[in-house]
Amino acid sequence: MCGIVGYIGFRSVSDLLLEGLHRLEYRGYDSAGIAVLADESIVVRKRAGRVSELAALVQTQPVEGTIGIGHTRWATHGGTTDENSHPHVGGNGEVVIVHNGVIENYDSLREQLTALGYVFHSQTDTEVVAHLLAHSYIEQLKLVENSDTHAAALKAVEATLTRLKGTYGICALFRDATDTIIAARSGSPLVIGVGRDEYFVASDASPLVGYTQEVVYLADSEIAVLRRDNMSITHRTSGSVQPSIQTLEQVSSDIELGDFPHYMLKEIYEQPKTIENALRGRLDDEEGTAVIGGLNLTPQQLRSIDRVVLTACGTSWHAGLVGEYLLEEFARLPTEVEYASELRYRNPPITERTLVFAITQSGETADTLAAMRECRRKGHPTLAICNVVGSTIAREADGGIYLHAGPEIGVASTKAFTSQVTVLTLLALYLGRMRHLSYPAGKRICRELRQMPEKIEEALKCHDSVKEIAEKYAGFDNYLYLGRLYNFPVALEGALKLKEISYIHAEGYPAAEMKHGPIALVDERTPSVFVVPRCGIQPKVISNMEEVKARKGPVIAIACEGDREVERIADDVIYVPEVAEYLQPLVCAIPLQLLSYHVALLRGCNVDRPRNLAKSVTVE
């Protein structure tokens, strides 16, 4: 959840760390801090609040150096205070660390360290690791030849990690090892940027963009020792590791706002392009099928599959629900969608003919990763639908499909959702053509998919009308979102977006289920947002709209252009282009994203950095 950045080289480190923390702030923004090795001491600057407040502190209390680490926090242990902010100092200043993750046995370790005389100044689990590192370092100095500070520092890290239970991504500076950063991970991502006489380390690649195009993704149980002129990586059990240097494909424009006021709006408007990217090279019009490389399963193996399990969290889970409809309709494959946080602790009857897909934007979601590992442990083919190249899930899955959506900085997911739905549509087409889907049907689906970037451009034209509707309803504190079949997951996603960034209570339901309980909530102050484009059961949804109107509930409808019946009933209508039913989630998601965006702005909320949330949930 938190963001880590570090640098060793020849550049002035404070500004570089602050820039990196700004880029990582979507991972956590409760507090921020930096530690710089300067004049044979480690200087720490940290503050509760946003990175901008830390930057103001550093401007008034500057610190110079060319080696440093930084951190932006999403609180797990201890409240949002200066004392709980990272970095944390160990012992008498021998070591300073930043940490992402949760140390599950920190209570017992804290008791042991307190008995040894260590004094704690925070409520965090991280300070326990800092003191334990300092203690181990002092012990190792007595054992290593000639009191070699660098050897002692590495051995201290190795000894400390053996005592930790939980997850961590850690960067450490040792006061006496003046030209070294040590980084280690288990369950929390770290990526190393390789430069000329300089190295970078971060929780993800965004701080490295513009500085280097060569990166190394640390794997679990690996420890990296970074010096200005070299890098070495060891595995805690198997020894030395030859780094696998990969090319970083991101460019500066991917992480810059451009002319947009917020990342969320920028990413909403990127969706015609991201859907085009998801489709590029993956449609075979001649054969009426999809072209999907990377599944690492033969056609014979795929034809033998008789069940699919999709596992995910949050927005990705909603995309999975759309995928369930798609796979069952096109491929006639029984499909289940599981919350990863539940699947990881269950023991469901999954056979060797079940195909498991983990769906994730970041590729680092802790619950999704754990669920995927559990399925792989039991021998099931486990694939990934993922956006981030080099992420843990992408590397550990047996195969998978990349979204190619580019970095998603806004905490509330937008373009990742539509890219996931697009890829799931391709997957359903691919498996369908292997099984029961006819050639003419496959040709038609290919043709309709190719039109989707243009259809999304049309859907974005609703922006001005959505803004007007948001002004009308921004003061309401409870919403219902209702849809059926393919548009039921869209209703869930629309409600989630409103909750995430507007802090408004909203619930998504199948429209027909409204009268089985939720209709009791309907009154003049509870708008109902109906996702009701033309489809086979549209008359049923219109009947549900009438039931809300009869109880004086305001109705906002997402409908196809020119739909007079919906227009007659609804108080306000947002129009989207008409597409095939299975593609309606793509166009209907757009106005719901824009509605949540504008309601949040009108209520004075930070749309890119909503309270209590972080982009990538890397802790349980």
The residues, any chain, with a CB within 8 Å of residue 64's CB and separated by 6 or more, are 12, 14, 36, 38
Instruction: Verify that 415 and 511 share a domain, yes or no.
Output: no
Has residue 1 got a pLDDT over 80? Answer: no
Decide if pLDDT at 77 tops 80: no
Domain harbouring 133, CATH code: 3.60.20.10
Mean pLDDT over residues 9-38, rounded? 90
User: Which of the pair, 618 or 189, is modelled with greater confidence?
Assistant: 189
Does some domain include residue 613? no
Q: Using H for helix, E for strand and C for coil, what is the string for 392-456?
A: HHHHHCCEEEECCCCCCCCCCCCHHHHHHHHHHHHHHHHHHHHHCCCHHHHHHHHHHHHCHHHHH
pLDDT at 522 (0 to 100): 81
Whether residue 325 is found in the same domain as residue 371: yes
Say if residue 440 is in the same domain as residue 467. Answer: no
Indicate if the pLDDT at residue 349 is higher than 90: no
Q: Which range is least confidently modeled, 230-234, 248-252, 274-278, 299-303?
A: 248-252
> What pLDDT does 465 receive?
95
End residue of a domain, out of 251, 270, 295: 251
Answer yes or no: is pLDDT of 247 > 90.
no
Range 60-81 average pLDDT = 89
Question: How many Å apart are CA 184 and CA 500, to the nearest integer?
Answer: 32
Q: Is the pLDDT of residue 252 over 80?
A: no
pLDDT in tens, 139-198: 998 888 777 899 999 999 999 999 999 889 999 999 998 899 999 999 888 999 999 999
Q: What is the pLDDT of residue 425?
A: 98
Q: Is the pLDDT of residue 345 over 90?
A: no
Same domain, residue pair 526 and 465 = yes
**Distance, CA of 8 to CA of 16 (rounded, Å):** 11
Distances (CA, A) of 582 to 318, 331, 400, 432: 15, 13, 22, 14
Are 17 and 119 in the same domain?
A: yes
In a domain, 286, yes or no: yes
Q: Residue 264 is part of a domain; what is its CATH number?
A: 3.40.50.10490
What pLDDT does 584 receive? 96
Instruction: Tell whether 127 is covered by a domain.
Output: yes
Q: Do 186 and 272 belong to one domain?
A: no
The predicted pLDDT at position 567 comes to: 87
Looking at the predicted structure, is the pLDDT value of residue 350 above 90?
A: no
In a domain? residue 616: no
> In the predicted model, is pLDDT for residue 3 greater than 80?
yes
> Which amino acid is residue 84, in one-letter code?
N
Q: Is residue 619 part of a domain?
A: no
pTM above the 0.75 mark?
A: yes
**Which whole number is the average pLDDT over 283-289?**
95
One domain, residues 383 and 467: no
Q: Give how many domains the chain has, as a whole number.
A: 3
**How high does pLDDT run on average in the chain?**
91
Cα–Cα distance for residue pair 510/523, rounded to 1 Å: 19
For 527, the domain range is: 459-608
Confidence grade of residue 248 (pLDDT, cut at 50, 70, 90):
confident
* Distant-in-sequence, close-in-space partners of 73: CB < 8 Å, separation ≥ 6: 2, 28, 29, 30, 31, 32, 80, 84, 85, 86
Give the pLDDT confidence score for residue 287 in this predicted structure. Answer: 94
Shared domain check, 429 and 475: no
The percent of residues above 70 in pLDDT, for the chain, comes to 98
End of a domain among 196, 217, 251? 251
Q: Rounded CA gap, 441 and 428, in Å?
A: 12
Cα separation, 173 vs 37, in Å, equals: 8
pLDDT at 45 over 90: yes
* pLDDT, position 618: 57
Asked if residue 184 lies in contact with residue 224, where contact means CB atoms within 8 angstroms, the answer is yes
Cβ neighbours, 10 Å, residue 524: 10
- Res. 226 pLDDT band, cuts 50 70 90: very high
- Examine the domain organization and report whether 392 and 482 are in the same domain: no
In a domain, 568, yes or no: yes
Same domain? 278 vs 206: no
Of 374-378, 423-427, 475-479, 609-613, the one with minimum mean pLDDT is 609-613
- Greatest alpha-carbon span in the chain: 86
Across 39-177, the runs of DSSP E, i.e. the strands, are 41-48, 67-73, 88-90, 95-100, 168-174
Domain boundary among the residues 251, 271, 297 is at: 251
Ranking 249-263, 441-455, 548-562 by mean pLDDT, the lowest is 249-263
The pLDDT score that the predictor gives to residue 279 is 96
- Are 347 and 421 members of one domain? yes
Q: Closest Cα partner for 560 from 580, 543, 582? A: 580
Q: Report the distance separating Cα 521 and Cα 30, nearest Å.
A: 35
The answer as to whether 620 is a domain residue is no
pLDDT of residue 524: 86
Judge whether 617 lies within some domain: no
Residues with catalytic function = 2, 615
Per-residue model confidence as pLDDT tens digits over 556-604 = 999 998 888 888 999 999 999 999 999 999 999 999 999 999 999 999 9
Cα separation, 79 vs 133, in Å, equals: 23
DSSP conformational letter for 103: B
User: What pLDDT does residue 243 have?
Assistant: 87
Same-domain pairing of 579 and 478 = yes
DSSP, residue by residue, 535-553: -TTHHHHHHHHHHHHHTT-
